[in-house]
Every structure is written in structure tokens, then in C-alpha cells.
Structure 1
Amino acid sequence: MTKQQIFIFGAGYSGRAFARANRDADTTIFGTTRSLEKFAALRQAGIVPLRFDGTLTSEIGDALGKTTHLVVSVAPDEAGDPVLGAAREVIAANIPELEWIAYLSTVGVYGDHGGHWVDEAAECRPVSKRSVMRVAAEQDWLKLGHDVGRPVAILRLSGIYGPGRNALVNLENGTARRLVKPGQVFNRIHCDDIAGTLWHLAEGNRGGIFNVTDDLPAPPQDVVAYAARLMGIEPPPEIPFETAQLSPMARSFYGENKRVTNAAIKAAGYGFRFPDYRSALDAMWASGDWRDGEARSPMKRS
């Protein structure tokens, strides 16, 4: 049996959560970052760090040559997918042990559906330029998988949160706001469920498109209010969306309104650790790990 070796292009917040969930001492995980200053954080998560700035180095090429499972969490740019731009030929021809590819995308590819439910068969009608590029990147990875005869799992993620990135932290540091746009809802996903989903799909080398998101699309102001109740403090006042001072990117998020179902990944056998923001905030508050996502002990895989 081939020894499992995992390579993560873009070992950021989600990639490090995935690596921390590794339970096999014989599994080696390589991961890239653009910054040498982040090497320590990668090592702490159990990742052998490598620098990737869009150019394929000999160290990356050597690690890819023995990779069995490839996870890609790098956003595309106007030139296309940076990983494919640098490594398409190597992935296509020089990774003999490769069994499975995962590409982390976004539910933003669906665009606006007026608050209605969408599943993986829904029309992709992205609004923002970044989501248009994501749709193209998804298709490029699916085509590569088809060309090399390897399964590709596309994970469409909703708003990512977890220890170090959540409403509790925002309340503590004074950045939490309760913006109110009537009828607006968002889905969310805890980083541990991104990790759990990746391991679940990798263990079966399962391909396909999956929404990786919680059970409870909810107004963003409700999340802040719930976190404030846990902390025993008054929530910040509500701010009408029309009068809020927002960056163009932040405002663009409110231009898309949909409820995203996770039925497909559940049908594939995955059980969510945190099916909604309440259970996640409750757990983080009770454990006290809500402030720092990097200092946690590794999580258990389901």
C-alpha cells in the first residue's frame, strides 16, 4: 500500500485546520505559503512548509512527485489559477502516486438567488469578479482530473469561521457590528468541518461537487447578538445596511442572498461537528479556545 503523502497549495486557516486533524503518524503533509514568516505556524500545525509565489521550485516539484492527495486552497487571479499556471504539467505527467485532488472553492459561485435554497445543481451566476474567476478555476480543475483520470472534489465553502475568527473575537476587540438588511441571510462553516469533510472525502478518494456549509443560513446580526449573550454583554446597536460604511468588497457580499443546502455531503456520509453557529459558539465559549485557532490541540476526525 502506498504511503499517504498530502500536499496543500495554500496552507492558510483552512489548510492548517485540515493538517491538525491528521491522525496518522505515517502521513506526511507538505504545505505552501507565500511568506517565510508563516513557516512556524505551518510547522505547529504539522505541515512541512514550502514557499510558493507562483513559481514551481525544485523543492515543491520533489514533494509533488510523491504526493498521493493534493489539496488546493489558492484563489485564482486575472491570469487564472496560479497553481495550474505553475504546476499543470507536473500534475498531469509527473505524479505517479496521485490518487485524489481537492479544490476549495466558494458558494459565491452561485451568485444571488433572492434568498432561495440552492444545491450543487443550481445555476452558477456569479456576481463578483472573484466568483467569476472561481467558476473558471473549478472547471479547469475538473478538466485536469478528467484528463489524468483522477477524482476531483470541489468543495464550495460558505463563510469560514472558528477559533481566532468569530463573533466572540470581534466583540472583544470592538470590531463587531450588527448590520441589518431585511431578508438577508448567510451560511457559515466552521474550519473543523472543512477539515473533517476533506478527510472524509480523501479517505474514499471521492470526487464531485459538494457544498460544505452549515444547516442554518441566518442573518449576520443574529450571530453577533447570540455571541454577546454568551459573553454576558450588550450587543452593538443595529445599523441599517443603507447607511453603513462598508468597503466595496464587504458591500458586494450583501448583493448575494441565498440559502445553501449541504444535503449532498451528508448523503456522502459526512456528519457535521458544528451544524450551526450556535453549537459552534457554545463549544468555543465553553472550551475557551475561541481566541486562538493556532494554539489548539489537534481535533478528532469523525
Structure 2
Amino acid sequence: MSAPSVVIAGCGDVGSRLATQLLAWNWEVYGLRRSISRLPEGVIGIAGDLFDKECPETWPVGGVDYLVYCAAATDHDEAGYRKAYVEGLQHVLEWLNDYGQAPKQLLFVSSSSVYGQQNGEWVDESSETQAQGYSGQVMLEAEQVALNSGIAASIVRLTGIYGPGREWLLTQVRRGYRVATDPPLYGNRIHADDAAGLLAFLLRHVEQGGGLDKVYIGVDDAPAPLADVVGWLREYLGVTEWAEDASVRRAGSKQCSNARARALGWAPTYPSYREGYTAILKG
């Protein structure tokens, strides 16, 4: 039996971590990005630009069993988001059609920004999407492109991804930035390795004959007030001073649930920010 094949379109940080996990299972992994020299060893590079309507010359000509679309916007405005998530996905679907390829499953990596809840509410996959800004609104539009693609598709809404190279909050804490405590601003996060691990788990579940729901939230076990996270990091790092007139600001306050993914058998390696940031700081 031949190894399953997967195209990871937008094979950046999370995509590369996913590729590494799938390679360990002897999957055939194709990674599409502009600079294929940065792909992990063993990944078959597809040098291409998701913003370009023309199919890359190195697009695989054989069957494609799975497609993971995990692009990242390069321009953080509405036009940039639409290019990355809506138009880019449309291009990839056209390329599949050009080659007569019909994957078993499409995973579209979305964001919890589609939820606009502000008051610390618990949110799951059945919660109303109340996107306030263009980012969440464009993501919802892109999700529909995936769900209407004619391919069995699941949306994976990742929360705040952190990990090596994604250390914005650590930088703010080291600078002594403050965060509001009343009312508490709940934040949600997932370590980059766990984000990739959830995608890998879902692909393997399908390959083993399982079915998927339309939507999953990718988050660790412990949504927490941002003040608690900052306080824990300050103590761990030994930060004692506060910066004047500098604060960590964020929009929204909600608590995302991973119960659906856990019910399928997935569990995060880093169940809370404590384990995740400890691993980063020790590393």
C-alpha cells in the first residue's frame, strides 16, 4: 500500500512542524511556499506563490490524498487577508481541478478571530460567530470557500499560537508592560507544536477510516485571564519593574473549548501556558 500523500499549501512555521510529524509516519509530504530552501528535510518542495493564479511548475502530477491550507497573510489589511485566505485557497482548488486531483480531505486552518465574544463567555464550535473586524469576517468567507469546495472539508480554528520564534508576549513582559485585571481579559493559546499535532491527528484519523466534524477549535486545556499569564511569566523571569504608561492590549475576551477535539482522542502536549512557556524558556 502506497504512503498517503499530502500537500501543505503555505508551509511556514506550523506547516513545517506538521510536515515533520507526517514524515515520521512515512507520509509523502509536499510543501508549497515561495522559498522551498526553508522546508524541513524530506519535504518535496513546490516553489510557488498562493497569490499567483498560475499553477506552480512543480505541482505534483499524481494523486493528492490530502490538502492542508495553512497560509499566513503578508499584508495585514482586508485586501491582504482576502488574497491570502480566500483567493489563495481558490487558486489551489483550481490547480487540483486542473490535474484532476480529488483529495480525501481538506483541512483549512482558520482562526478563533471569527468569534467576537467580549465578556469571557465559553465558546465552542457551535457558538455564534460574531466577527467584529475584517480578519474574522474574511476568515468566515474563506471557510465557506473550503466547505463549498466539493471536497470533504474541516475547518480548524486555531487560537493564539505561541512557541519558539513566536514570543511577542514574553517580550512585552520583559519590558514591564501592564495588563488590565478588572474585568479579566481571557485569552486562548496553543503551542505551535500542538497546533501542528492537532492537524496531524485529524489527518491520521481520516486515513484510519474515521470521520471528521466540519469545525474544530485548536486550543489548549486552560484559557486564562491575561493578567494571570503575565503574572506567572513575571515571576518566572524575575521581572520586578513596571514600565510607565505601557500596557498589553488585546481585543475580545472569551474562553475557547477543545472538548470536540479531545472527544476524538487528541490531547495537547502542553496543556496550559505554564508547560508551554517553561519549555520555551528552558530551550
TM-score (norm 1): 0.78
State the partner residue of 2:77.
none
User: Which residue of 47, 52, 60 maps to 2:49?
Assistant: 52
State the partner residue of 1:299.
none
State the partner residue of 1:161.
162
Cα RMSD for the two superposed structures = 2.8
Distance 1:11 1:237 in 2: 38
Instruction: Determine whether 1:33 maps to 2:33.
Output: yes
- TM-superposition CA deviations, 1:49-97 (whole Å, max 9, x none): 5221422445467326532111101257346612233233333463445
Distance 1:30 1:57 in 2: 18
State the partner residue of 1:77.
81
Instruction: Determine whether 1:67 maps to 2:64.
Output: yes
Post-superposition shift, 1:225?
3.0
State the partner residue of 1:230.
236
Instruction: Determine whether 1:210 maps to 2:219.
Output: no
Instruction: Determine whether 1:117 maps to 2:122.
Output: yes
Instruction: Determine whether 1:265 maps to 2:261.
Output: yes
User: Which SS does the other structure have where 2:81 is aligned?
Assistant: coil
Task: Indicate if the aligned counterparts of 2:3 and 2:27 stay in contact, CA closer than 8 A.
Answer: yes
Post-superposition shift, 1:234?
1.5
Task: Indicate if the aligned counterparts of 2:176 and 2:239 stay in contact, CA closer than 8 A.
Answer: no
- TM-superposition CA deviations, 1:173-208 (whole Å, max 9, x none): x55633225221100000111111111110122432
Distance 1:236 1:16 in 2: 38
Instruction: Determine whether 1:279 maps to 2:275.
Output: yes
Deviates more, 1:102-111 or 1:199-208: 199-208
Residues 230 and 245 of structure 1: is their aligned pair in 2 closer, same or farther, counting only changes over 3 Å?
Answer: closer
Aligned pairs (5 A) from 1:191-210: 191-205=192-206, 206-207=211-212, 208-210=214-216
Residues 117 and 169 of structure 1: is their aligned pair in 2 closer, same or farther, counting only changes over 3 Å?
Answer: closer
Question: Where does the alignment leave 5 or more consecutive residues of structure 2 unmatched?
Answer: 74-79
Distance 1:235 1:50 in 2: 47
Question: Where does the alignment leave 5 or more consecutive residues of structure 1 unmatched?
Answer: 289-302
The one-letter code matched in structure 2 to 1:200 is: F
Post-superposition shift, 1:259?
0.7
Task: Indicate if the aligned counterparts of 1:107 and 1:156 stay in contact, CA closer than 8 A.
Answer: yes
Distance 1:31 1:199 in 2: 14
User: Which SS does the other structure have where 1:62 is aligned?
Assistant: coil
Distance 2:234 2:11 in 1: 31
Task: Indicate if the aligned counterparts of 1:158 and 1:212 stay in contact, CA closer than 8 A.
Answer: yes
Task: Indicate if the aligned counterparts of 1:225 and 1:235 stay in contact, CA closer than 8 A.
Answer: no
Task: Indicate if the aligned counterparts of 1:176 and 1:224 stay in contact, CA closer than 8 A.
Answer: no
Distance 1:116 1:110 in 2: 11
Residues 177 and 50 of structure 1: is their aligned pair in 2 closer, same or farther, counting only changes over 3 Å?
Answer: farther
Distance 1:88 1:107 in 2: 24
Distance 2:97 2:123 in 1: 33
Distance 1:265 1:109 in 2: 18
State the partner residue of 2:141.
136
State the partner residue of 1:15.
15
Post-superposition shift, 1:221?
3.5
Distance 2:253 2:147 in 1: 27
Distance 1:110 1:119 in 2: 10
State the partner residue of 1:295.
none
Post-superposition shift, 1:169?
5.2
TM-score (norm 2): 0.82
Distance 1:49 1:94 in 2: 15
Give % identity.
27
User: Which SS does the other structure have where 2:126 is aligned?
Assistant: coil
User: Which SS does the other structure have where 1:77 is aligned?
Assistant: helix
- TM-superposition CA deviations, 1:118-152 (whole Å, max 9, x none): 110000010111110101111110111xx2xx321
Residues 58 and 260 of structure 1: is their aligned pair in 2 closer, same or farther, counting only changes over 3 Å?
Answer: closer
